[in-house]
Amino acid sequence: MSFSEHIGIDIGSTFTKGALFTVHDDHLELTERLEYPTDRGDVSAACVSIFHRLSESAQGDSPEIAFSSSAHGGLNMVAIGIVPRYTEKLAREAALSAGAKLCGSFGYYLTEEDCRTIENINPDIILLTGGTDGGNMEYVLKNAHMLSQSEISSVVVYAGNRSAKSEVEKILSSSEQFTLYMCENILPQIDEPSIKEVRSVIKEVFMNQIMKGKGLSRARDILGCEPIPTPGSLFSFIERISTFDEYEHDWALVDIGGATTDCYSVVKEPLRSLYDGVPVFGSGVKELQITRSVEGDIGLRLNSLNLCELIDDDTGLKDYAELVTEHIEHIPQNAEQHRFENLLASSALSLAVKRHSGLLSPIYSVDGQFYRQLGKDLSTIEFLLVSGGVARRAEMEVFFDTGKKQIRLVPDSPVIKFDKDYQLPLLSVIQGVSDKVLAEYFWNQILSKEKGA
């Protein structure tokens, strides 16, 4: 009989969570889960306490240990490319799947004013792209020169035309203000994005940055492993469990936090072919099956007042939002506060999914009508899995305005399910468990077939 134990810990900005999982003959079980407030003065304190408690609970002497962190906050990234729409889309996909956030996007030739704007943003990473392989080199070379002559100091990741690679490296490596990473082209062909290597580099930079956080190096030394960025860990987990035919479903995860809300989606056919019998065409870059978006203005505590503007309720909701904005640790105390929490949570869920979805725009030509799709088709999504502390206590529904002039491709009739033990950040970080075992646990224990489970 095979047996192994695995400890996973996630350091969040507000709470640090940990769990001990066991695997018996390829069957995964949650043995114990702990949660402590994160000490902002020493983010490792709660992590180390949880580690010692779970280690004492383990039956063996050497459980596999791994931990993730989002306590430092996401890295700020700026993207530079040729066609703004392509640049921003691909940069956003690479950034958000690795733990960064896109703070600016610049197309065509950089100007001196653009460089001053980038200086003011002070990004952790600059993603320099441009040109398919063997295509235009003029833009990336000119933009590399502009960066080298600026006052900008940052990590620069080059992921453009491979024909310009050596020249770009020569231009930027001569300047001490840049730490340079050279990657494969993020768009080697116009309809074939390639973001894996860029994503890996962003994760590496993220890890180097969060190690600068107070106390995180102590957690690394005591636990004996390097931290993993939480967003990247979750994204990789979703990729791993989405490769099995028996679990082939279109679904989305919405992680609702106090300040931000993350949305991940898995859709086998993200570009639809018809809408009401009318042909649909894409808008350039191929849509990816697995994507993540981050809504920085949607949250149940620090951004709850933003949600109030979307809800037609004048019976005290704003007062409640002001209360939880000031006291972020507050949980509902009575029926009325639970109703307010449900309203805010439902609004956050609906708005995050709506923004994550694509749009159809009608086009009329001499050959007749067709639709152009911009973004991802979520209409086939079967399940919306809600994670975060609110998943334990709120009752939610989704309400979408699908639009008139433009048609919003939101889920048609999704079933809402809840990660009530907030296991996903912990499940996603544990090491030494096969993808098959993780997938079986996720589908049978977390996203089970019973409605609302």
How confident is the model over 316-339, as pLDDT tens digits?
888 888 898 888 778 889 988 888
Residue pLDDT, tens place only, 58-87: 998 889 999 988 755 557 889 898 887 777
Q: Which pLDDT value is given to residue 18?
A: 94
Q: Which pLDDT value is given to residue 146?
A: 93
Residue 48: band (very low, low, confident or very high) from pLDDT cuts 50, 70, 90: very high
Overall average pLDDT of the 28-48 stretch: 88
Counting residues of the chain whose pLDDT is more than 70, the rounded percentage is 92
Residue 397 has pLDDT above 80, yes or no: no
Q: Which pLDDT value is given to residue 400?
A: 75
Residue 416 has pLDDT above 80, yes or no: yes
Overall average pLDDT of the 146-169 stretch: 91
Residue 376: band (very low, low, confident or very high) from pLDDT cuts 50, 70, 90: very high
DSSP 103-165: EEEE-SS--HHHHHHHHHH--SEEEE--S-TTS--HHHHHHHHHHHTSS--EEEEE-S-GGGH
Overall average pLDDT of the 305-322 stretch: 80
Q: Which pLDDT value is given to residue 268?
A: 94
Residues β-bridged to residue 292: 264
Residue 452 has pLDDT above 60, yes or no: no
Residues β-bridged to residue 35: 17
Sign of CA dihedral 68, 74, 78, 81: positive
Burial of 292 (0-12, 13-18, 19+ CB in 10 A): buried
Q: Which pLDDT value is given to residue 66?
A: 93
Per the model's pLDDT, the better-predicted residue between 157 and 96 turns out to be 157
The CATH number of 75-208 is 3.40.50.2300
> What is 1-72+214-223+428-453's CATH topology?
Nucleotidyltransferase; domain 5 (3.30.420)
Reference 357, options 325, 396, 304, 398; nearest CA is: 398
